[in-house]
Structure 1
Amino acid sequence: MGDKGLNDLLRWSIENSATGPDGTTNAPPRSTLNQEALAAMMGGPSDADLMRESMAAITSPDPEISLESRLTAFDNFEQLIESLDNANLLSKLGLWTPLLECLAHDEAEMRLMAAWCVGTAVQNNEPSQERLVALGGIEKLVQMAVGKRLPAPSTSAEAINGDNKKDEEETKNVRRKALYALSSAVRNYQPAMDVCAAELRRQGHGENAGEEGKAIDATDMDAVDTVIGGLREKVTNA
């Protein structure tokens, strides 16, 4: 356990063993332990540890790790980041980059899970929305939603050999999950909505990007629904 965890435990122990104003020890606790400190006290891994371990399994180059095991790790990862605190740990732990790289994975199920996790992380979470914009994630989600396969990372063997699948179409299920993530990412966060509209026009889908030269209000849920609904219809009809 780090120094901060030890300090949290010490403070909690002192405050909760002190006598109350009436001389008894039944006074309500004056502080609570965070999950990480509590897990450390109990001898188990913290959520941060579990998040790191899950991502390590997801992205491991070990061919002995099956697709089923990687998908199970992704499912565990998604459940962990349903917590707002854990979602905000993604930046601190350096997990945003490998997560977004999974959007270009060879396996459709892995791409779907990556998009699902992105959507979970950014839902009603401005710091995560901000991070997604900064890392170019909005553009990736737009491209997936309109049916394009993302190119493999430039360091991969596929990209070196020129086989980066950039001309292949994305599957319907992955497109739907990318659209879910995009919907969560742009709501109530104007920078994400602006990037989304710009990328839609760049991809030739300006009819879904609102009136040219006029920003779509990210706080106007009807306006956002119009954008997302138009894209959803295209997925359905694909």
Structure 2
Amino acid sequence: MAMARVHAKRSRHHGLLVVVVLSAILLLPVAAATAAAVAVAEGEGDNRSSLGATGNEEGKMVSGAEPGGGGLVVEDEFAGGFGSLDSMLQWAIGNSDPEKLKENAADVQKLSTDELLKRRMEIKELMEKLKMPSDADLMKIAIADLNNSSISLEDRQRALQELLVLVEPIDNANDLDKVGGLVAVIKDLNNENEEIRTTSAWVLGKASQNNAFVQNQILGYGALARLVKMGYATSTEEVAKALYAISALIRDNVNGQDAFCSEDGNAMLQYILVSNNIDIRLQKKAVFLVTDLADFQLNSGKSGLPFLSDRLFLKSLVAMLSRFDLDLQEKVLLAIKSLLKLPSTDAADFESCNLDSVLYRLGVQLEELASEEQKEYAGEVDDLRREVQMLFQSKLREGTRTAL
């Protein structure tokens, strides 16, 4: 039944695609439509395979918003495989007969204003009769599939991928809970299939990104606890999307950050930081989240994340400077810089982590880089290292004066 609905949906959307392309051509100014047609007819745009590929490639992948996020989402064909109306129009022109286009262009030029208006009205009426589905309709179809316990894993994954695209506009994200979408997606965080869990976390992250309204809705359903547990998964992709969703949920959200602490999210972060067998990309994401949380505390003047000044946690962070990866070292230095600026952070705790000697060794290491390609970047990282060292020494002196 689910497959039948999916196939029916595809057929309807492909039929609509034709109408949309016709509408685009007829609703364009005559001069623009004529110029496009003539250009293709004369060979300027007659690259049918590349135009067709452009549309497909635009609709093939949607990457995670978070930096360095892996994974792909292959869009379903509800958009006809095209990323935009413009790509639909290009495909239609590129796959048309050049001579026929030239004839049609000549015919268009002969149309009067009234005749052109009539054509536009005919297309408009046809589109209304076909009842092109709204985003809300498409979300309801996808959610109905998720609520169907007998649906195949392939169709369930396809429904989640459709939601991933649909929730990007903030209005759609705000409506997701109204149509039962959040409950259905959160439920799939517990699915036995790793790919389903991963995409579900991705959808939640995408819907809640920079959206306090949806953040609070998801937090209200208690999804954060499950996302934190996913941070211990053995799959790099699952952990990456869990971190992405967590970051989106608690960014600039005090309630979310409190919930993160209550669910021992700091233990999950420390586990990622200290584990030698963890993909370094995940460690970079974890460090980035630490910086984000520290910057929020600094800019908002709020305090409520005691783990940011925990000596064991700081030691785990400082130890990462010994790992030879310039990008990781830069991210760790930025995190330490933000943490040193927090009033709640004691420089003595960093001193107990041997921060000064670690920074010195890092400086020597950066100077000894042999590759010319790395030297410029290494110089930038070294400048940041010096800045952190000065900030650390300044805060250490300030602490000593206060103690006296």
Cα deviation for residue 89 of structure 1 reads: 0.5
Q: 1:132 to 1:217 in 2, by over 3 A?
A: farther
**Is residue 51–residue 80 contact of structure 1 (8 Å, CA) maintained in 2?**
yes
Cα deviation for residue 47 of structure 1 reads: 1.1
Q: 1:55 to 1:206 in 2, by over 3 A?
A: closer
Residues 1:114 and 2:200 aligned together = yes
Mapped partners of 1:177, 1:58: distance in 2: 19
Mapped partners of 1:92, 1:40: distance in 2: 26
Query: SS of 1:219's equivalent?
Result: helix
1:160-201 CA distance string (max 9 Å, x none): xxxxxxxxxx53321111111001111111100110012116
**Is residue 187–residue 218 contact of structure 1 (8 Å, CA) maintained in 2?**
no
Mapped partners of 2:298, 2:216: distance in 1: 19
Equivalent in 136, 160, 163 of residue 48 of structure 1: 136
Mapped partners of 2:161, 2:201: distance in 1: 12
Partner of residue 211, structure 1? none
**Is residue 228–residue 268 contact of structure 2 (8 Å, CA) maintained in 1?**
no
Partner of residue 102, structure 1? 188
Partner of residue 13, structure 1? none
Query: SS of 1:188's equivalent?
Result: coil
Partner of residue 296, structure 2? 219
Cα deviation for residue 42 of structure 1 reads: 6.3
Letter matched to residue 53 of structure 1: I
Cα deviation for residue 84 of structure 1 reads: 0.5
> What is the aligned-residue identity percentage?
30
Q: 1:107 to 1:194 in 2, by over 3 A?
A: same
Equivalent in 239, 253, 257 of residue 175 of structure 1: 239
Mapped partners of 1:194, 1:69: distance in 2: 36
Query: SS of 1:61's equivalent?
Result: coil
Partner of residue 92, structure 1? 178
**Is residue 208–residue 214 contact of structure 2 (8 Å, CA) maintained in 1?**
yes
Cα deviation for residue 77 of structure 1 reads: 1.1
Counterpart mapping for 1:116-135 below 5 A: 116-135=202-221
Partner of residue 162, structure 1? none
1:10-48 CA distance string (max 9 Å, x none): xxxxxxxxxxxxxxxxxxxxxxxxxxxxx9786122211
**Is residue 187–residue 221 contact of structure 1 (8 Å, CA) maintained in 2?**
no
1:144-170 CA distance string (max 9 Å, x none): 1133xxxxxxxxxxxxxxxxxxxxxx5
Mapped partners of 1:123, 1:133: distance in 2: 13
Mapped partners of 2:232, 2:261: distance in 1: 13
Equivalent in 253, 256, 264 of residue 192 of structure 1: 256
Residues 1:143 and 2:207 aligned together = no
Q: Which structure has more RCO (C-alpha within 8 Å, separation ≥ 6)?
A: 1
**Is residue 54–residue 73 contact of structure 1 (8 Å, CA) maintained in 2?**
yes
**TM-score, structure 1 length as denominator?**
0.58
Mapped partners of 2:218, 2:294: distance in 1: 19
Point out the more displaced range, 94-103 or 138-147: 138-147
Cα deviation for residue 207 of structure 1 reads: 5.3
Cα deviation for residue 66 of structure 1 reads: 3.1
Q: 1:143 to 1:52 in 2, by over 3 A?
A: same
User: Which has the larger share of helix?
Assistant: 2
Residues 1:58 and 2:142 aligned together = no
Q: 1:43 to 1:177 in 2, by over 3 A?
A: same
Letter matched to residue 104 of structure 1: N
Q: 1:186 to 1:218 in 2, by over 3 A?
A: farther
Q: 1:42 to 1:53 in 2, by over 3 A?
A: same
Letter matched to residue 149 of structure 2: P
Segments of 5+ residues of structure 1 without an aligned counterpart are 1-38, 148-169, 209-215, 234-238
Q: 1:221 to 1:40 in 2, by over 3 A?
A: farther
Segments of 5+ residues of structure 2 without an aligned counterpart are 1-126, 272-292, 321-404
Superposed CA RMSD = 3.4
Mapped partners of 1:97, 1:218: distance in 2: 32
Query: SS of 1:91's equivalent?
Result: coil
**TM-score, structure 2 length as denominator?**
0.35
**Is residue 119–residue 182 contact of structure 1 (8 Å, CA) maintained in 2?**
yes
Q: 1:81 to 1:194 in 2, by over 3 A?
A: same
Cα deviation for residue 91 of structure 1 reads: 1.8
Letter matched to residue 118 of structure 1: L
Mapped partners of 1:205, 1:86: distance in 2: 31
Runs of 4+ in 1 over 4 A off after TM superposition: 39-42, 203-208, 220-224
**Is residue 40–residue 46 contact of structure 1 (8 Å, CA) maintained in 2?**
no
